[in-house]
Amino acid sequence: MRKKFITWTDNYIIDKGLIDEQHLKLIDLINNLHAAFLEGKANDHLNEIVVELTDYTVYHFKTEEDIFCKTEYDRKEEHKEQHKLFVEKIKEFKNMLASKEASLSFEIMTFLQKWLQSHILISDKEYKDFIRIVDL
């Protein structure tokens, strides 16, 4: 069995509920993309996986931003800007891949891995205490 590109650990836990479920889904999508990349099958499934990753990322970020609106989280605008920049980067990758300007590369995979890990472990941890007061 192949080692996962991103492995879920308890360090990632935010709410033991909806947000963690969504983070797990994002990790699974990135792991699927990475597995296809390693198996040389990325081109066969690339568009499908990247579209799903883009759509799910937008969905997840909307969930987080809806939570921010219900709390006193004071860094919500900065956090939303991080989301916006990530979505723009994913769309840029998607367009480059679709136009064959680039192929799936280790650089893209590493960007996805590092961004998601640092975003969950740093930025999302900042609102962890605020989420406890929100009824999801």
pLDDT in tens, 32-41: 888 888 887 7
Domain, as residue range, for 104:
17-131
Residue 102, pLDDT score: 65
What is d(CA 103, CA 46) in angstroms, rounded to the nearest whole number?
9
**Does some domain include residue 1?**
no
What is d(CA 27, CA 31) in angstroms, rounded to the nearest whole number?
6
Identify the segments of the chain with pLDDT beneath 50. Answer: none
As a residue count, the chain comes to: 136
Residue 109, pLDDT score: 87
**Does some domain include residue 119?**
yes
Residue 53, pLDDT score: 87
- Provide CB contacts within 8 A for 87, sequence distance 6+: 54, 57, 58, 61
**Does some domain include residue 4?**
no
**Does some domain include residue 136?**
no
**Does some domain include residue 6?**
no
Query: Which CATH number do you get for residue 78?
Result: 1.20.120.50
- Provide CB contacts within 8 A for 96, sequence distance 6+: 102
**Does some domain include residue 107?**
yes
User: What total of structural domains would you count in the chain?
Assistant: 1
Q: How many CB atoms lie within 10 A of CB 53?
A: 21
